[in-house]
Amino acid sequence: MGKRTIASRTGFDYFFVKPSGNEDVQKAAKKLMGIKGIREVAVTEGDYGFVVKADLLYEGENALLHREIAKAVGGTARKAVCICNYRK
């Protein structure tokens, strides 16, 4: 307790990535981190194998990034746009 919650209006795009096949997880994460505009890659369990945090881009650039992410892991990606971020 005692920590303040800080709201930030800077946005990010989050991609929920479902890779295909059994590619090496570390190798796939490094491929994703090598894509321009990606800030973080989380390896996850469940419906998606990765959650990727990327810079908020314009629609045309965003479509390109979306394709690069899917191509890097040979699967699919779904996007969620973060418009406000809360942290302690």
C-alpha 71: how far from chain center: 14
Q: How many domains does the chain have?
A: 1
Amino acid at 73: V
pLDDT tier, 35 (very low <50, low <70, confident <90, very high otherwise) = very high
Q: Residue 64: give the domain boundaries.
A: 6-87
Whether 1 maps to a domain, the answer reads: no
| CA neighbours closer than 13 Å in the CB half-sphere of residue 81 | 9
The answer to the question of residue 42 being in a domain is yes
Sequential DSSP letters for 24-67: -HHHHHHHHHTSTTEEEEEE--SS-SEEEEEE---HHHHHHHHH
Q: Which CATH number belongs to the domain containing residue 15 in this structure?
A: 3.30.70.920
pLDDT of 23 over the 80 cut = no
Answer whether residue 16 is part of any domain.
Answer: yes
Q: What is the mean pLDDT of the chain?
A: 85
pTM of the full structure: 0.81
